[in-house]
Amino acid sequence: MTTAGTVTGKSYDQVFCGLGEPLDLKRAQVEASRCFYCYDAPCIEACPTGIDIPSFIRKIGNGNVRGAALDILGSNILGGTCARACPVETLCQQACVREASEEKPVEIGLLQRYATDEFFKSGEKPFRQAKSTGKSVAVIGAGPAGLSAAHRLALLGNSVTIFEAKEKAGGLNEYGLAPYKMTDDFAQKEVAFVMSVGGIKIEHGKALGLDLKITDLTSKFDAVFLGVGLGAVNRLGIPGEAAEGVLDAAKFIEKIRQVKDLAKIPVARNVVVIGGGNTAVDIAIQMKKLGAEFVTIAYRRGVEQMGATHHEQELAQTHGVLIKTFVKPVGIVSANGKATGIELEYTALDGAGKLVGTGTKFTLPAEQIFKAIGQTLDSENLVASAPDLKFQGGKVSVNADFSTNLAKVFAGGDCTGVGEDLTVTAVQQGKLAAEAIHVKLGGSLESLPNAVLGRGN
């Protein structure tokens, strides 16, 4: 095991510089001119938060960057992060009519980043809490769903207290996204922007099940929103998994995101990542940037079944990561309790389309093996906090308005089984749940259109 010698003397942002140059005004306006400004635009339907994409792109083309940013942030208060982390190639950009006609789609993600970044530079804080409703809401978790819910609740005049277990707010945006996507401490700048609405306070070091109980919160607040995300990690379930060097990818990304001296991060010469999603790609690219010589992503199915998009896969390959498909881990090779390699078995699809092992095995050298095979809900603390809370498919069960079976308790984001586990989906669910809570508490949404456009506050 070595340390990241290639990063010695380099700043965090020098090592994890943002991938892809952000647009300047000229390039943004040229790109905006490619939009057809479609009526009933399919890109709007493909955006989980329903941003009026043609509208904000037209405003960029006309030089009204502030108006473009308000279009975005009014629908998605975390639009800056989503511009960096959203799989736009499978959402809005895939739906672009230029893509349908086999042309390059409009670079919606880059245009969204341009508008929000330029707006943040202005320092303007357009959103303000409405006249107090006299109602108070507890939000558990300061991740994308919790921040989105808190902002919308405050915007509508409610008092919000966020309870967060970690030292910083942001959730996945602060602790889980690859640092090359979130340079310049962007996650914390965005949290500050969300908090600027007023009427929100955060209490850190408050973990559900340990420091908090839902039953206690429902007696103190008019409503409770659960935005706890997914905190537990899936196991490989193979011999040798306890060996030193077998690591959880998500937790290691968190360590990289929070460390001040990257040279202290242990980096092996040979790294193998098990999994096929964005987390697998993120940790693989990071380890290459930190100095690993050989990095391999091992995935049990084919490239078409990988959770990581083709764009993410290409990104890994251009950084020197080998993607090996149709292989599954069957054992960890170790010496003196430390991982030295991983045994893999080739897989194939049988006549019924079922994935099966072929019996042919091989071993790759690996002193670091990262598990990136998905996360699950830490239901133990939830059950301890609210024994009667109902679950479905291992996640919190919610109705169409994101209410749970418990009176006054709502939930949204990855902890529910609704939609994909994406930042943009969590933002939308937090927003919709907040509106449902506000109405449940006797409020009205009539003033919302002007409020989200930064008017009449």
How does pLDDT run across 314-338, given as a tens digit for each residue? 999 999 999 999 999 999 999 999 9
Phi, psi angles (nearest 5°) of residue 453? -100, 10
In Å, what is the CA distance from 436 to each residue of 187, 410, 425, 440?
Answer: 27, 9, 16, 6
Whether 451 shows a pLDDT value over 70: the answer reads no
Q: What is the pLDDT of residue 71?
A: 96
CA angle 72, 75, 81 (to 5 degrees): 60
Percent of the chain exceeding pLDDT 70 equals 94
Q: What is the pLDDT of residue 446?
A: 87
Distance, CA of 199 to CA of 155 (rounded, Å): 8
Quick one: tokens of 351? 């006549």
Q: What is the pLDDT of residue 404?
A: 98
Q: What is the pLDDT of residue 218?
A: 97
Mean pLDDT on 29-38 = 96
Which residue type, as a one-letter code, is found at position 112?
Q
Strand pairing category for 266-267 and 232-233? unpaired
Q: What is the pLDDT of residue 3?
A: 56
Whether 359 shows a pLDDT value over 90: the answer reads yes
Q: pLDDT tens for residues 85-108?
A: 999 999 999 999 998 777 899 999
Q: What is the pLDDT of residue 260?
A: 83
Whether 262 shows a pLDDT value over 50: the answer reads yes
Q: pLDDT tens for residues 282-319?
A: 999 999 999 999 999 999 999 999 999 999 999 999 99
Residue 245's DSSP bridge partners are none
Mean pLDDT on 368-376 = 95
Whether 455 shows a pLDDT value over 60: the answer reads no
pLDDT bracket for residue 402 (50, 70, 90): very high
Q: What is the pLDDT of residue 103?
A: 82
Q: Could you tell me the fold of the domain covering 233-374?
A: FAD/NAD(P)-binding domain (3.50.50)
Q: What is the pLDDT of residue 381?
A: 87
Q: What is the pLDDT of residue 456?
A: 40
Tell me which residue of 409, 385, 407, 386 sits closest to 207, measured CA to CA.
Answer: 385
pLDDT bracket for residue 11 (50, 70, 90): low
Residue 151's DSSP bridge partners are none
Residue burial 91-119, b: 16+ Cβ < 10 Å; e: rest? bbbbbbeebeeeeebbbbbbbbbbbbbbb
The answer to whether domain 136-231+377-452 has CATH 3.40.50.720 is no
Whether 344 shows a pLDDT value over 90: the answer reads yes
Cα of 203 vs its chain's centroid, Å: 22
Whether 20-122 and 136-231+377-452 share one fold: the answer is: no
Q: pLDDT tens for residues 212-239?
A: 999 999 999 999 999 999 988 899 999 9
Distance, CA of 153 to CA of 164 (rounded, Å): 17
Mean pLDDT on 185-195 = 97
pLDDT bracket for residue 457 (50, 70, 90): very low
Q: What is the pLDDT of residue 5?
A: 52
Domain ranges for the chain = 20-122, 136-231+377-452, 233-374
Q: pLDDT tens for residues 36-73?
A: 999 899 999 999 999 999 999 999 999 999 999 999 99
* Superfamily name and number for 20-122: Alpha-helical ferredoxin (1.10.1060.10)
Q: What is the pLDDT of residue 261?
A: 87
Percent of the chain exceeding pLDDT 90 equals 84
Q: Are 431 and 149 in contact (CB under 8 A)?
A: yes
Whether 433 shows a pLDDT value over 80: the answer reads yes
